[in-house]
């Protein structure tokens, strides 16, 4: 089907098509009311969808809906956004909402090409009061025109569409997750993502799905990387010999060995790539893929990170019971399974000189009020305490420009929290207080003179500390 609408320059064929008699052509309908519409559309994935195609079919549906009622004068189209994300979390949708406050916004109504492209679950019900407040109509193909939020029929229809949209996502997710679980366990198939440090990706033959194979899709598998595999073996050997994570990281930095993000910066744009850290070494030593088994679902598909400082947020892991491990070895191992298990035992709780285990109530619950980093547990003056070294770790050599380390004792934290209006209670025992903070995801921001509970894990970061 030929479509020369929107072409600014007519080629000979287009001029010929335009000159042909249109026996069934109807005069264009005259807009009634002449509404100005803002079109909104969305597509989820860039890898599996074509933006031009998706954007055009959605706009065509919207144009057909408003034919004779007005024209589209503005366009907002989100790319790479799941429908589960609210409008405030989508760049173009958020821009459209911001435009509502502008009295000179230039449009009177919003039109979408399909409900599922714009909304999921009860998103539209939450958006309705905002649109009504600004006097902006919403046009949907499913309602064959503007949505009347006070019409019981439209209310029931919107609820049904929201439930159907949510169900579609859940059903597709269940099918995909179940299939990936079987592929990882039974076939040991590589299912994407960055290859672990020490490995590289190589061709593994045609795709087992005949249609995909005809399109040229091929499988990939992991193979030891000659430039980095030796460093992984060395780390496991050193750890089994009793060497600390900090000592291993410092040795790698002193030897000038590039860290994973330095080796592959394209896949790690959110990392600095300048040095090894304790967290990097610990992550490598805890990855069972180095035993030759394929492992899937170690990390949640959706994580909440500190957008301002993503490097300071720990990598979230699913419980080990949720990991999917292949039944057989599917690539060359860099460490034996026995040595890998023994390495994990080295990470058990360290005992004190008297044989007791040191316990810290507020591990993971404290943040430094000066730099925003999580404070680490530290035994000070024969009692539990916490400290912040403002980014300095044992994995790097000290410099002359280090900021003073901030220390706070655990008993002082308990005393300060006892005076806080939101937590003060004569019934609190220290362990119950820590459990309450953990259960309600309350973070304690510590400064020199006070400790302030905050919801969530993020604290304000003082720009004094880089």
Could you give all domains of the chain from N- to C-terminal order, each with its CATH number? 31-168 (3.40.50.1390), 199-346 (3.90.1750.20), 366-455 (no CATH)
| pLDDT confidence of residue 1 | 43
| Structure confidence at residue 356 (pLDDT) | 65
Beta strands in 275-381 (DSSP E): 293-296, 324-329, 366-368, 376-380
pLDDT surpasses 50 at 101: yes
- Least confident residue range of 82-91, 210-219, 261-270, 297-306: 297-306
The pLDDT tens digits of the residues spanning 361-390 come to 888 889 898 888 888 888 877 888 998 988
Judged by average pLDDT, the poorest of 81-90, 352-361, 404-413 is 352-361
More confident residue, 169 or 197: 197
pLDDT higher than threshold 70 for residue 65: yes
> Quick check: 453 and 420 in contact, CB under 8 A?
yes
pTM of the model: 0.60
Instruction: Give residue 21's pLDDT.
Output: 78
Query: Exposed, middle or buried: residue 206 (CB in 10 Å: 0-12, 13-18, 19+)?
Result: middle
DSSP conformation class of 290: G
What mean pLDDT value characterizes the chain? 83
pLDDT of residue 242: 85
Give the C-alpha separation, 312 to 306, whole Å: 8
pLDDT band at 302, cuts 50/70/90?
low
Encode pLDDT of 226-250 as tens digits: 999 999 999 999 999 888 898 899 9
Joined tokens for residue 64: 């057909």
Q: Which residues contact 197 (CB under 8 A, 6 or more apart)?
A: 228, 231, 232, 260, 263, 284
Place of tokens 């559309």: 41
462 touches 391 (CB < 8 A): no
Contacts of 55 (CB under 8 A, 6+ apart): 41, 43, 77
């Amino acid at each position: 089907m030929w479509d020369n609408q929107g072409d600014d320059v007519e080629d000979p064929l287009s001029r010929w098509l335009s000159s042909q008699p249109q026996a069934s052509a109807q005069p264009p309908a005259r807009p009634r009311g002449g509404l100005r519409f803002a079109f909104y559309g969305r597509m989820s994935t860039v890898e599996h969808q074509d933006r031009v195609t998706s954007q055009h079919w959605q706009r065509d549906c919207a144009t057909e809906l408003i034919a004779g009622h007005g024209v589209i004068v503005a366009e907002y189209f989100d790319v790479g956004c799941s429908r589960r994300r609210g409008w405030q979390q989508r760049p173009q949708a958020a821009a459209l909402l911001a435009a509502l406050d502008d009295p000179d916004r230039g449009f009177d109504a919003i039109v979408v090409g399909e409900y599922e492209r714009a909304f999921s679950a009860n998103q539209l019900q939450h958006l309705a009061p905002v649109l009504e407040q600004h006097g902006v109509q919403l046009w949907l193909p499913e309602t064959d025109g503007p949505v009347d939020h006070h019409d019981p029929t439209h209310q029931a229809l919107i609820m049904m569409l929201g439930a159907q949209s949510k169900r579609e996502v859940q059903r597709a997710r269940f099918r995909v997750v179940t299939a990936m679980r079987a592929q990882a366990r039974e076939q040991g198939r590589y299912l994407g993502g960055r290859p672990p440090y020490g490995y590289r990706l190589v061709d593994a033959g045609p795709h087992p799905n005949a249609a995909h194979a005809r399109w040229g899709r091929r499988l990939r598998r992991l193979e030891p990387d000659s430039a980095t595999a030796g460093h992984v073996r060395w780390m496991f050997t050193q750890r089994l010999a009793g060497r600390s994570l900090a000592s291993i990281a410092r040795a790698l930095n002193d030897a000038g060995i590039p860290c994973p993000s330095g080796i592959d910066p394209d896949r790690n744009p959110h990392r600095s790539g300048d040095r090894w850290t304790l967290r990097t070494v610990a992550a490598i030593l805890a990855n069972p893929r180095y035993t030759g088994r394929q492992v899937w679902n170690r990390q949640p598909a959706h994580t909440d990170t500190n957008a301002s400082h993503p490097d300071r947020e720990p990598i979230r892991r699913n419980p080990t019971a949720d990991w999917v491990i292949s039944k057989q070895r599917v690539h060359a191992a860099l460490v034996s399974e026995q040595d890998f298990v023994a390495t994990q035992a080295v990470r058990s709780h360290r005992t004190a000189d008297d044989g007791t285990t040191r316990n810290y109530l507020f591990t993971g619950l404290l943040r430094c009020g000066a730099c925003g980093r999580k404070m680490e547990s530290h035994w000070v003056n024969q009692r539990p305490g916490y400290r912040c070294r403002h980014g300095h770790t044992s994995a790097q050599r000290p410099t002359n420009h280090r900021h003073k380390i901030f220390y706070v004792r655990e008993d002082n934290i308990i005393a300060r929290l006892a005076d806080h209006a939101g937590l003060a209670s004569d019934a609190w025992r220290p362990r119950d207080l820590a459990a309450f903070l953990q259960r309600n995801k309350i973070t304690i921001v510590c400064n020199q003179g006070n400790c302030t509970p905050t919801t969530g894990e993020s604290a304000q970061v003082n720009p004094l500390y880089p």
